Structure 1
Amino acid sequence: MRRFEKYLAEVGIKEGPILNRLTTIYNICAGSFHEEIIEIFVSEIKNNDGSRVYEHVSLFTENYIIDIVEPIGNEIQWNVASYKKAFGWAELSSFNFDFEKANDDSKLKVLCRNFLEMNLSYSFKATGTNCNHLWSIYKEHIQRNLSKVNEKSG
């Protein structure tokens, strides 16, 4: 839980109703899912004034992604998919990010799709130092599972 809170602070969620809401959602998912949550990612963009807009939250286990849709609203809705169903193809786009160290102007977007059994898609967006976190998630949870999907479909 401390790792979760530390990451949220890094993306500007340090206290208040948004932190309380995300903590509640995390606890519900962690308590109801059969695998340990090992990673979290907040997909976000920055407004012109520099404030962040939080789009969705993704929780990662060893074999699954849990995607919480509109985490700031009143309704709690999440989608769960195994990596083999979620990550068949990926597209990355970046701005002012060298894939080593992000700065305040950095942006990274990762779009993932799978066309094998279901038309699933996931869009992960990051700004500033959150780009480093998204790049790490891409390497650890997305990229390493792309070949597994393709091998099983082939």
Structure 2
Amino acid sequence: MLIREATAEDWSAIWPFFHEIVAAGETFSYPLDLDENEGRDWWLPAAPNRAVVAVDESGTVLGTAKMQNNQGGNAAHVATASYMVDPARSGRGVGRALVVHTLDWARAAGFRSIQFNAVVETNTHAVKLYESLGFRILGTVPEGFRHPARGYVGLHIMHRAL
């Protein structure tokens, strides 16, 4: 697996699983009805922020991540990131590879830590992955997320020092 900068040409491969994940409404707090252009604007940020794709040996996009500073000004030393793995390609270590890539990028870019602002507590695979890589839950916003099947569930704030 190779992780590289995402390009505008990658969007056609990202959009189908991005749309599927967002429209399901189970893990992201994005509007459920984002169209393709809006989705691209949400996911492919302008520099110095960045997006990457994980591709296999044939060049197939397996997953993607976007990363940036969490806040500006005197809080700009804390990074944040979001991840999406094509559901048809889950279970192959793509998510883990993207998170590790983000940790390496954030260290190299001079960030002191990474904070995830909104990890849905029912997204147990993501929570377990993040914890296995040294993130910890700082707190949970009770009923901070309206899950389509489980109703109101908690929204974790997760953090890892670099």
- The TM-score range, normalised by the shorter chain, is 0.3 to 0.5
Name the TM-score, length of structure 2 as normaliser.
0.33
